[in-house]
């Protein structure tokens, strides 16, 4: 072999140690793995922080009363007491409470959809004098807690003879400033060319709003519907001050009555009632989960 061939082999041959990772590369790999593990650990910690109260509630609902007093608590009861759910269900007119909660939550959501969609469409796609001022007033209502205005609303509903009725629980929440804001932001992200094309085809504004804008904002509408349903399903304050008749009271008020039996707090029965209260919320969440994820992904892409 000639000297030139040997030099060529030396030049093009693999360098010594070229396949071995450098110290900096190993450090970056270890750092990325450590960050990934820390990320998973933080997510697991957050999941546990939210899931443990539900697990404790379900566990307590299946215990006897003496077992609820044991410390440290036993998470898995030896003999689950399913009759606690029967006792909780029979402790009051629970079918009536359940029906009232569904009727009130669904009625509020239906009225909110009828009001927030036109309002959000007007604020997003029309130019008119005072638009900014009106939208600012709508946003200002988000800073007013319901407990601050319940007295004038109570007096107004009393003058209208609506106390102890379902309308007293529905009408004050017929619209939502949060829903208007959320939907307006979604409408602003919709391409204006779609609306202009529909207007060139002489489509009326209500058809553009309902057949173009609303279907495109379906994930946002589903997210708002879930938030609204959960908020009013779990509402305790407003039904408490607006009703005194058991025939129109909702499920949270019925569960609050399960406090004591013969001077002893029946935590097992109370937790069984709370499980029944939480089940419709969980069903609604899992039903809307896909739309919620799409709403966040769509917002992130935009």
Read off the pLDDT of residues 127-140 as tens digits, 9 standing for 90 and up.
888 888 999 999 99
pLDDT at residue number 21 = 64
Q: At 105, which CATH number? A: 1.10.3720.10
Q: Note down the domain range covering 181.
A: 92-257
- Of 101-105, 174-178, 182-186, 293-297, the one with minimum mean pLDDT is 293-297
pLDDT at residue number 99 = 93
Q: Which two tokens stand for residue 174?
A: 């017929």
Contacts of 157 (CB under 8 A, 6+ apart): 163, 168, 171, 172, 242
Q: Domain count of the chain?
A: 1
At 11-48, the pLDDT tens digits run 455 555 555 667 777 778 788 888 889 989 998 999 88
pLDDT greater than 70 at residue 80: yes
Distance CA 213, CA 181 (A): 15
Q: How many residues does the chain have?
A: 302
Tell me, yes or no, whether 204 lies in a domain.
yes
Tell me, yes or no, whether 5 lies in a domain.
no
pLDDT at residue number 301 = 45
More confident site: 188 or 15: 188
Tell me, yes or no, whether 53 lies in a domain.
no
At 191-247, the pLDDT tens digits run 777 888 888 888 888 888 888 888 888 888 988 999 899 999 999 999 999 988 888
Tell me, yes or no, whether 282 lies in a domain.
no
At 241-288, the pLDDT tens digits run 998 888 899 999 888 887 655 456 688 888 888 888 888 888 888 887
> CB-based burial of residue 104 (10 Å sphere; 0-12 exposed, 13-18 middle, 19+ buried)?
buried
Tell me, yes or no, whether 287 lies in a domain.
no
Distance CA 301, CA 10 (A): 52
pLDDT at residue number 296 = 61
Query: Could you tell me the CA-to-CA distances from 55 to 84, 253, 288 in Å, in that order?
Result: 16, 23, 22
Q: Average of pLDDT values for 80-104?
A: 88
The gap from C-alpha 298 to its chain's centroid, in whole angstroms, comes to 17
- Using alpha carbons, select from 112, 57, 63 the residue that is nearest to residue 84: 63
Tell me, yes or no, whether 110 lies in a domain.
yes
Residues 219 and 299 sit within 8 Å (Cβ to Cβ): no
Tell me, yes or no, whether 166 lies in a domain.
yes
Banded model confidence at residue 298, pLDDT cuts 50, 70, 90? low
CB atoms within 10 A of CB 101: 24
pLDDT at residue number 109 = 94
pLDDT at residue number 4 = 52
Tell me, yes or no, whether 220 lies in a domain.
yes
Helix boundaries (H) for 64-93: 83-89
**pTM, 2 dp:** 0.79
pLDDT greater than 70 at residue 9: no
pLDDT at residue number 300 = 47
pLDDT at residue number 20 = 64
At 141-182, the pLDDT tens digits run 888 887 788 889 999 999 999 999 999 999 999 999 999 999
């Amino acid at each position: 072999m000639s000297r030139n061939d040997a030099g060529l082999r030396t030049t093009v041959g693999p360098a010594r140690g070229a396949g071995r990772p450098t110290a900096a590369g190993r450090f970056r790999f270890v750092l990325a793995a450590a960050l990934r593990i820390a990320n998973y650990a933080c997510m697991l910690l957050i999941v546990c922080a939210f899931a443990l109260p539900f697990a404790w509630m379900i566990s307590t609902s299946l215990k006897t009363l003496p077992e609820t007093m044991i410390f440290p608590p036993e998470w898995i009861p030896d003999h689950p007491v399913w009759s606690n759910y029967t006792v909780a269900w029979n402790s009051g007119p629970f079918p009536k409470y359940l029906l009232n909660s569904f009727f009130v939550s669904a009625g509020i959501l239906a009225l909110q959809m009828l009001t927030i969609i036109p309002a959000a469409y007007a604020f997003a796609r029309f130019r008119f004098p005072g638009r900014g001022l009106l939208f600012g007033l709508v946003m200002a209502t988000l800073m007013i807690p319901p407990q601050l205005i319940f007295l004038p609303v109570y007096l107004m509903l009393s003058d209208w003879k609506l106390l102890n009725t379902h309308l007293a629980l529905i009408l004050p929440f017929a619209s939502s400033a949060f829903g208007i804001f959320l939907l307006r932001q979604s409408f602003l992200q919709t391409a204006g060319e779609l609306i202009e094309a529909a207007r060139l085809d002489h489509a009326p504004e209500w058809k553009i709003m309902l057949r173009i804008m609303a279907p495109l904002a379906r994930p946002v509408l589903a997210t708002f519907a879930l938030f609204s349903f959960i908020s009013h399903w779990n509402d305790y304050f407003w039904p408490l001050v607006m009703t005194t008749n058991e025939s129109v009271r909702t499920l949270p008020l019925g569960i609050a009555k399960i406090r004591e039996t013969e001077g002893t707090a029946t935590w097992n029965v109370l937790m069984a009632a709370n499980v029944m209260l939480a089940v419709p919320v969980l069903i609604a969440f899992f039903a809307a989960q896909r739309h919620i994820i799409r709403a966040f992904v769509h917002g992130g892409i935009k």
